[in-house]
C-alpha cells in the first residue's frame, strides 16, 4: 500500500485547511503545480471535519490558528477516532514556528510534518512524501486514544504568557541508558530525560516512547532543541540481546 501511494503520488487526495484565503490558494497552487490532481479546501477545522465525512482524504495540510476548530483540535479529533477518518490519517501542520508552545501538543498528537512559512515547492513535496510514508497509530481502536484525549489543544491556554520557570538544580546522570544524537534515535526507545525547545518550552516528557514519526519531527526541529543529545532506554528486546 505504501509503495503504491508513492508510485501514484499525483493521485493522492489532499485537503488544505487554512482560514486565510490567500494562503489556502497559494498552497493549493503549489500542490497543483507539483502534479497533484485531487485537491480540496476548508476554511477551518470544523469545515475540514465535515469534508472528511463526505470524501476519502489521504493527507491533510492544516494551519494551527483558526476559528471554530483550530488545527490541533482537528488533529486530536482525528487521532481519537472522532472524525470519521482513519486515526492514522497523515496530517502536516503549516506554521511560522512563532508559537513554540504549540509544538509540544503537535508532537503528542503524532503530527506527520511541519511546513514553515514562507515555504518552497521542493520543501512541500519532500514533506508530503515523508508524511505518506509514516504510520502514527493503527487504524481502528487505538491504545493511544487515552493519551490523545489528554493533549491540550486550547490555544488560549497554550499561548498564554507564562512566568519564567526557576532553574532546577542539575541532577546526577542516571545509570543505564544511552546518550544518542537525534539521528541515532530509533523507534521504541524511551526517553530518560525531557526534551525542551531552546526557549525552555517542554516538548517531550521523560518516559515518552519514541515512534518514527516523533523522531522525524525532532530531526525537523533539531536546530531549535535545547540539547543536541538524548539519554534513552533501549527496548526490552534489545536490552536482552545486549
pLDDT at 135 over 70: no
Q: What is the pLDDT of residue 170?
A: 46
Taking only the tens place, the pLDDT of each residue in 29-41 is 999 998 999 999 9
Q: Of 51, 61, 68, nearest to 26 (Cα)? A: 61
Both 118 and 80 in one domain: the answer is yes
pLDDT band for 131, please (50, 70, 90 cuts): very high
Last residue of a domain, one of 126, 155, 184: 155
Q: How far apart are CA 67 and CA 19, in angstroms?
A: 8
pLDDT band for 90, please (50, 70, 90 cuts): very high
pLDDT band for 167, please (50, 70, 90 cuts): very low
The CATH code of the domain that includes 97 is: 3.40.50.2300
What does the pLDDT average to over 149-160? 88
In a domain, 162, yes or no: no
Q: What is the pLDDT of residue 98?
A: 56
In a domain, 69, yes or no: yes
pLDDT band for 166, please (50, 70, 90 cuts): very low
Q: Give the residue with greater pLDDT, 19 vs 170.
A: 19
Q: What is the pLDDT of residue 159?
A: 80
Q: What is the pLDDT of residue 201?
A: 85
8 A C-beta contact, residue 157 and residue 102? no
Q: Of 58, 55, 52, 1, nearest to 31 (Cα)? A: 58
Distances (CA, A) of 15 to 9, 44, 72, 175: 14, 11, 15, 47
Q: How far apart are CA 150 and CA 213, in angstroms?
A: 19
Q: Give the residue with greater pLDDT, 158 vs 69.
A: 69
Residues whose CB falls within 8 Å of the CB of residue 34, separated by 6 or more in sequence, listed in order: 121, 124, 125
Q: What is the pLDDT of residue 42?
A: 96
Both 123 and 203 in one domain: the answer is no
pLDDT band for 162, please (50, 70, 90 cuts): low
Both 37 and 121 in one domain: the answer is yes
Both 185 and 108 in one domain: the answer is no
The CATH code of the domain that includes 213 is: 3.90.105
pLDDT at 25 over 50: yes
Alpha helices in the chain (DSSP H): 2-7, 21-33, 45-54, 71-79, 103-108, 121-133, 145-149, 155-158, 212-221, 236-241
Both 151 and 201 in one domain: the answer is no
Both 109 and 182 in one domain: the answer is no
Domain count, the chain: 2
What does the pLDDT average to over 159-186? 69
Both 151 and 38 in one domain: the answer is yes
Contacts 24+ apart (CB under 8 A), 195-199: 195/225, 195/226, 195/227, 195/230, 196/225, 196/226, 196/227, 197/100, 197/103, 197/221, 197/224, 197/225, 197/226, 198/224, 198/225, 198/226, 199/100
Q: What is the pLDDT of residue 169?
A: 45
pLDDT at 140 over 60: no
pLDDT at 10 over 90: no
Both 180 and 120 in one domain: the answer is no
Q: What is the pLDDT of residue 75?
A: 96
In a domain, 163, yes or no: no
Domain that holds residue 83: 2-138+146-155
Peptide bond into 239 cis (omega under 30): no
Both 30 and 116 in one domain: the answer is yes
Both 213 and 125 in one domain: the answer is no
In a domain, 229, yes or no: yes
Amino acid at each position: 500500500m505504501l509503495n503504491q501511494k508513492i508510485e501514484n503520488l499525483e493521485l493522492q487526495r489532499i485537503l488544505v485547511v487554512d482560514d486565510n484565503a490567500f494562503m489556502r490558494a497559494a498552497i493549493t497552487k503549489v500542490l497543483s503545480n507539483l502534479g497533484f490532481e485531487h485537491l480540496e479546501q476548508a476554511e477551518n477545522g470544523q469545515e475540514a471535519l465535515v469534508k472528511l465525512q463526505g470524501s476519502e482524504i489521504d493527507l491533510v495540510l492544516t494551519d494551527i490558528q483558526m476559528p471554530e476548530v483550530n488545527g490541533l483540535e482537528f488533529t486530536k479529533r482525528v487521532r481519537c477516532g472522532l472524525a470519521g477518518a482513519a486515526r492514522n490519517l497523515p496530517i502536516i501542520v503549516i506554521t511560522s514556528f512563532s508559537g513554540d508552545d504549540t509544538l509540544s501538543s503537535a508532537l503528542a498528537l503524532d503530527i506527520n510534518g511541519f511546513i514553515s512559512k514562507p515555504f518552497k515547492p521542493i520543501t512541500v513535496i519532500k514533506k508530503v512524501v515523508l508524511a505518506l510514508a509514516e504510520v502514527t497509530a493503527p487504524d481502528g481502536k487505538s491504545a493511544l486514544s487515552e493519551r490523545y484525549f489528554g493533549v491540550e489543544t486550547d490555544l488560549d491556554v497554550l499561548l498564554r504568557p507564562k512566568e519564567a520557570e526557576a532553574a532546577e538544580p542539575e541532577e546526577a546522570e542516571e545509570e543505564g541508558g544511552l546518550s544518542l544524537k537525534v539521528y541515532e534515535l530509533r523507534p521504541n526507545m524511551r526517553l530518560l530525560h525531557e526534551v525542551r525547545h531552546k526557549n525552555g518550552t517542554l516538548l517531550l516528557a521523560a518516559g515518552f516512547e519514541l515512534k518514527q514519526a516523533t523522531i522525524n519531527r525532532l530531526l525537523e526541529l533539531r536546530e531549535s532543541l535545547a540539547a543536541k543529545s538524548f539519554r534513552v532506554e533501549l527496548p526490552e528486546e534489545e536490552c536482552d540481546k545486549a
